[in-house]
Structure 1
Amino acid sequence: MSPTAVPDPTPPRLHVVLYQPEIASNAGSIGRTCVAVGARLWLVRPLGFLVGDRHLKRAGLDYWEHLDWRLVDDLDEAVAAISPGRLWSFSTRAGRSYTNARYLPGDALLFGPESRGLPPRLVEDRPEFAVRIPMRAEARSLNLAVSAAVGAFEAVRQLDEPTAG
């Protein structure tokens, strides 16, 4: 299992960026979601697991051979490669609902590590690109794989809508 070595001549319509993910099975499930929606998956080090982890492979099943993914040392490296897309930070600290954002082709959805979420600066420094998934107060947060799927499918729903003419 290795990241795609040859650049894809057609850029993905969406990027999903996992900033310092900690749980292999979540990353594997998110990889499956990325295959389903045609998104490129970015894994930003440090990771809480080995890329060859059996839990990562099990959660991704046989989808890994179809997954367009990259492993990078820091977020700046991913952002530079994704440009000119926009980076949407998903956080429970954001004020705007993810459904009120307008996603465009090439946008990136950024998710933080399972135990602590995104660093505050990634949410507070760019509030116009910070979104949350609304939930009841009793639910502190959602599982990372669930959050990524919710965000990715909303973005794809918007991208697939016919434009008004």
Structure 2
Amino acid sequence: MHQLNIVLVEPQIPQNTGNIARTCAVTGARLHLIRPMGFTVTDKHLKRAGLDYWDKLDITYYDSFAEFSARNPGAYFFFTTKGRKIHSDAVYPNNAYLIFGREDQGLPEDLLFAHPEECVRIPMRNELRSLNLSNSVAIAVYEALRQWDYPDLTRTGSLRAYRWEDTNCEEV
């Protein structure tokens, strides 16, 4: 069984964290939140963005990155606009940790400098600052899951009022 871990270092915007929580819930990824955060976990914007998925989450809180790293050895991938490798060129092993920084500052440069081979970048136009955090997490999660052939995820959907029959739809 594959396990994917999403790590948010000092997230500041509750709606982003709520959206990321929902992504984690629907994909089975574990969510790790490192304090301080720019909101409380009871924030109405956080809860609204995550909808009714909060009870489907495996979530752990930490007081620092040092505490997180001491409790979670493994393969770390630091997502940053400063990365020299493209995120889709990385190979994500089972139990990988995809690590993201604050919306306003990203990850600390001393952390990135200490792990140059683990820094990855989602390609974007050079003259623009960055993607939205929750969008970046979704891109990263689905790249890792694609590499793993989407384990434990439903691959086909169904219509409510119709049945798929080969290439034609027929009404139920």
TM-score of the aligned structures, taking structure 1 as reference length: 0.87
Tell me, what secondary structure is at the counterpart of 1:104?
A: coil
Note the alpha carbon deviations across 1:125-150, whole angstroms, 9 max, x for none.
11111000000123210000000111
2:103 counterpart of 1:123: no
Note the alpha carbon deviations across 1:65-107, whole angstroms, 9 max, x for none.
1011011101122223322x21100000011000000001101
Query: How far has the Cα of 1:124 moved from its partner?
Result: 1.4
Contact between 1:15 and 1:40, CA under 8 Å: does it hold in 2?
yes
The residue number in structure 2 matching 1:155 is 144
The residue number in structure 2 matching 1:46 is 36
**Letter of the 2:85 counterpart:** R
The residue number in structure 2 matching 1:58 is 48
The residue number in structure 2 matching 1:136 is 125
The residue number in structure 2 matching 1:80 is 70
The residue number in structure 2 matching 1:16 is 6
1:104 to 93, 118, 125: 93
Tell me, what secondary structure is at the counterpart of 1:78?
A: helix
TM-score of the aligned structures, taking structure 2 as reference length: 0.84
**Letter of the 2:52 counterpart:** D
Tell me, what secondary structure is at the counterpart of 2:51?
A: helix
Tell me, what secondary structure is at the counterpart of 1:62?
A: coil
Contact between 1:82 and 1:106, CA under 8 Å: does it hold in 2?
no
The residue number in structure 2 matching 1:67 is 57
Distance 1:25 1:161, change over 3 A: closer
Larger % of helix: which? Answer: 1
Runs (4 or more) in structure 1 with deviation over 4 Å come to none
Uncovered stretches (5+) of structure 2, i.e. residues with no partner: 152-172
Query: How far has the Cα of 1:161 moved from its partner?
Result: 6.9
Q: CA RMSD in A?
A: 1.5
**How many residue pairs get matched?**
151
* Percentage of pairs with the same residue: 48
Q: In structure 2, how many angstroms separate the alpha carbons of the residues matched to 1:19 and 1:143?
A: 15
